[in-house]
A and B are shown apart, each in its own frame.
Chain A
Amino acid sequence: MRKLLLGVVMIAMCWFAAYAAHAAELQPPAHAVAGAGFDIKTSGSGSDTLILIGPASALKREVALGEPVSIAGDEARAAGRYLAILSSGGDSTSKEFFVSSGQASDLVFLARPSRVATAQKGAISGVAFVFDEYKNLVLAPTPVKFALSVEGHAPVLRTVTAREGVAWTHMDSTSNQGAAQFVASLPQGGSDASIRRVVQQVAAEACNLRMKAQPQGNAILVETEPIKDCSGNPVPDGTIVTFTETDASGISTVDARIKKDVARAELPASHSATINVASGVVLGNEIHWGGGQ
């Protein structure tokens, strides 16, 4: 009886040893990079079916156990979670692993606004998303250079390190009007990724708004000095300037547009009046007509 039991145990051990020798195991790569390709090592003997599920892939192929399975770069361009399954008959074994994004080589750049007044604090925002060549978000810290410049003037530069694939900055609009070039680029890694946006900088509100008045026939002719913003940029033609005359008979208001840097209007004649000038929220000088200025 003992011999019989021993025989059975021996047979069971041999069977288990044979099973273990045949049992398939997977060893995915420890560090895989999108688009670079990698090997999945297998152990055991015979053949099995390998299934590889990734963000953009679902491969199924027969593989020889004990030999590495090569996955080409084109088959794993997407960064993310991959699942390798070895399946034979009713048994299967699986391993998950992650493919990381490659080197930063591309940017998506959002710049706002497209039109802004000069010399405004933090008025321009730039957001850059950093991608590798296969459009995977690069999550490793990556420096991004932002440059804002108007022709003929030195650019304003700022380097921001992208975290979680995104870098952003707020920049002041410069004091010069014109089409500002807002550029985001990758200063490291030999990439020539550079995205350009145009932000039109226009003169801000009028500054030191002043006018003079003189009689003209039966009217009073009012005319401003050349209207400029606080940085010296001429306020654009077409901007509305409001002249207001207040006298005993009431209030007269004339809206005039700036033409060739100045605005002018005719107000009703009066023996004694107060005349004001304003443009937007900016109030100019006041003239007392008839009673001496």
Chain B
Amino acid sequence: MRRLQLLLAVAVFMSATHWMTLRARANDAAGVKVEMSTEQAQPREVEDSTQKAIVRDYTAAWKAMEAALASNQDAGLAAQFSGNALQLLQDRVQQQKKSGLRTRFVDHGHKLSAIFYSPEGSAMELHDTAQLEIETLDGSKVHHSQPVTLHYVALMTTAEDRWKVRLLQGVPNF
């Protein structure tokens, strides 16, 4: 009987620890890690400074998106997204709010590959392979939780002082 109690206690402790770790990582905005390769970029070669800026701003965009979809607050999106990407995310946040849903991410990182860099240097198309755990919540109840590898086509364009995500479209594969 004591062994059973001990086993139960260990199981409860491990579950709680795992749950708290997931929560902490979900709330940790600094957890988004982006690696970028530029070998496939055409027709222009990506400059080192541009690569750093893209990594910085794409990371910030994912942080903003994950925060917005977890909290159903879209105020932080406009700083990192523009055009149709911004509109779609704002629509998603509004619908989540209306339905009482939220989406929580645990972000295990992104492998970003530039495939197109415009000749004049104002637009870049990228492929992103993202490792994520996505939880769909209805109120506080987790309806669905799944580790996934997702593929995105992203289009980034220059804005005032940064690159903004203008399009983020999920695709089955590249």
Question: Which residues of A does B touch, CB under 8 Å?
Answer: 51, 53-60, 78-81, 83, 85, 87, 92, 94, 96, 98, 101, 110, 112-113, 125, 127, 129, 135-137, 139, 164-166, 168, 170
Contacts and interface: CB of A to CB of B under 8 A. Distances in A.
Nearest to A127: B118
Given A51-B144, A112-B120, A164-B125, 10 more contacts: A58-B95, A58-B103, A79-B170, A80-B170, A85-B136, A85-B143, A94-B146, A96-B148, A98-B171, A110-B123
Contacts of A139: 153, 169, 171
B116 A164 contact: yes
Interface stretch (B24-32, B48-56, B84-92): B84-92
Interface of B: 43, 83-84, 87-89, 91-92, 95-96, 98-101, 103, 115-116, 118-120, 122-123, 125, 134, 136, 138, 143-144, 146, 148, 150, 153, 155, 167-172
Centre residue among A55, A58, A83, A98 by max chain B CB count within 10 A: A58
Given A60-B138, A129-B155, A51 B101 contact: yes
A58 B69 CA distance: 11
B95 A57 contact: yes
B136 A83 contact: yes
B151 to A, nearest CB: 9
A25 to B, nearest CB: 15
Nearest to A80: B170
Contacts of A101: 169
A55 B119 contact: no
Contacts of B116: 164, 166, 168
Contacts of A170: 43, 119
B136 A51 contact: yes
Contacts of B120: 110, 112-113, 125
A60 B139 CA distance: 12
Contact of A60 (B83, B101, B148): B101
Contacts of B99: 51, 58-60
A165 B153 contact: yes
Nearest to A85: B144
B172 A98 contact: yes
A113 to B, nearest CB: 8
A181 to B, nearest CB: 19
B119 A127 contact: yes
A137 B119 contact: no
Nearest to A96: B148
Contacts of A110: 118, 120, 122-123
A88 to B, nearest CB: 11
B138 to A, nearest CB: 7
Contacts of A92: 143-144
A55 B125 CA distance: 19
Nearest to B142: A92
A60 B137 CA distance: 12
Given A56-B92, A83-B136, A136-B169, A125 B119 contact: yes
A168 B143 contact: no
Contacts of B96: 58
17 contacts: A51-B143, A51-B144, A53-B101, A53-B136, A54-B92, A58-B96, A59-B95, A80-B169, A83-B144, A87-B144, A96-B148, A113-B120, A137-B167, A139-B169, A166-B116, A168-B116, A170-B119
Given A85-B136, A166-B116, A57 B92 contact: yes
A98 B170 contact: yes
A112 B170 contact: no
A102 to B, nearest CB: 13
Contacts of B122: 110
Contact of A164 (B83, B146, B153, B172): B153
A34 to B, nearest CB: 10
Nearest to A126: B119
A268 B118 CA distance: 53
A101 B138 CA distance: 29
